[in-house]
Amino acid sequence: MELAPLERLPSTADRAAEAIRAGIFRGDFPPGTPLPEGEIARRLRVSRTTVRDALRTLVAERLLTYEMHKGVAVRSLTASDVRDIYLLRRCFELAALERLDMSPVPVLAPIVTAAEKAVAKHRWIEVGTHNLTFHSELVASMRSPRSDRVFRQLLTELRLGFLAVDDPAGFHGPYVLRNRRILDLIDDGDLQAAREELSRYLDDSERHVLEAVPGD
């Protein structure tokens, strides 16, 4: 017997989870933000049962927390979370540079330009989103759907650490310049220097986020 494979369509709960997940990635929901089922259902125009299923998914992904009698809220990162995220960031991002050939990654330049424009307008949440998108697209250059999925989840978690920083201008501004430096090195074909710069970048970024989150 032969059966043609069925295309897996995302459920309404999957789409609801992705809408909330995307909001976290954009910085719409700072750590500690409560997410009441009724309000989310009203905004997304879905049932509370659908929202409940979506929230369970995001709790399992460690983006949200659930407490009895308090409900669901956006999670706050700990120092252990940050160290683990950056351990994996190094694995993914440095591997992406290892796999690059001598050609540039065209999608990166518009992201850096958009970040620079956002800096000029002091739109720091937007700058943070462009920062995460730059590194997400760097990893996407490996053309590995599984890597993309895992890395996107990592960066969505990391956004919660970015939002804990008290001085977003002092935090995000210098990293836009460093993203431009990494891009220039990639475009020049100096991938060894790009890897070295990225390694230093990740060390410094980890240290800055660790300073903003509670210890273990």
Q: What's the mean pLDDT when you consider all of the chain?
A: 92
Which stretch, 38-42, 95-99, 126-130, has highest mean pLDDT? 126-130
pLDDT digits (tens, 9 = 90+) for 156-167: 999 999 999 999
4 pLDDT tier (thresholds 50, 70, 90): low
Q: Select from 57, 49, 47 the least CA-distant residue to 20.
A: 57
- The amino acid sitting at 120 is A
**pLDDT for position 10:** 78
Q: Tokens 């999957």: give the residue.
A: 14
The pTM of this model reads: 0.90
**pLDDT for position 15:** 92
Quote the CA–CA distance of 119 and 135 in Å, as a whole number. Answer: 17
pLDDT digits (tens, 9 = 90+) for 35-92: 999 999 999 999 999 999 999 999 999 999 999 888 999 999 999 999 999 999 999 9
Better-scored residue on pLDDT, 6 or 145: 145
6 pLDDT tier (thresholds 50, 70, 90): very low
Dump the DSSP string for 98-160: HH--SS--TTHHHHHHHHHHHHHTT-HHHHHHHHHHHHHHHHHTT--HHHHHHHHHHHHHHHH
Quote the CA–CA distance of 130 and 108 in Å, as a whole number. Answer: 10
pLDDT value at 215 more than 80: no
**Which has the minimum average pLDDT: 95-104, 138-147, 173-182?**
95-104
**pLDDT for position 62:** 94
**pLDDT for position 9:** 56
Quote the CA–CA distance of 215 and 173 in Å, as a whole number. Answer: 25
pLDDT value at 3 more than 60: no
- Cα angle: 147, vertex 201, 183; to 5 degrees: 75
**Which has the minimum average pLDDT: 7-16, 104-113, 147-156, 174-183?**
7-16
12-74 maps to which CATH number? 1.10.10.10
Q: Tokens 């890897």: give the residue.
A: 195
Decide: 206 and 212 in contact? Cβ < 8 Å.
no
Q: Using DSSP, state whether 8 is helix, strand or coil.
A: coil
Which sequence spans correspond to the domains of the chain? 12-74, 79-212
The third-level CATH classification (topology) of the domain covering 79-212 is Four Helix Bundle (Hemerythrin (Met), subunit A) (1.20.120)
**pLDDT for position 34:** 95
Quote the CA–CA distance of 214 and 216 in Å, as a whole number. Answer: 7
CB-based contacts of 58, cutoff 8 Å, min separation 6: 17, 20, 21, 64
CB-based contacts of 165, cutoff 8 Å, min separation 6: 171, 208, 209, 212
**Which has the minimum average pLDDT: 45-59, 101-115, 119-133, 180-194?**
101-115
Quote the CA–CA distance of 166 and 26 in Å, as a whole number. Answer: 17
Q: Tokens 């989840």: give the residue.
A: 153
Q: Which helix (H) or strand (E) holds 72?
A: strand 71-74
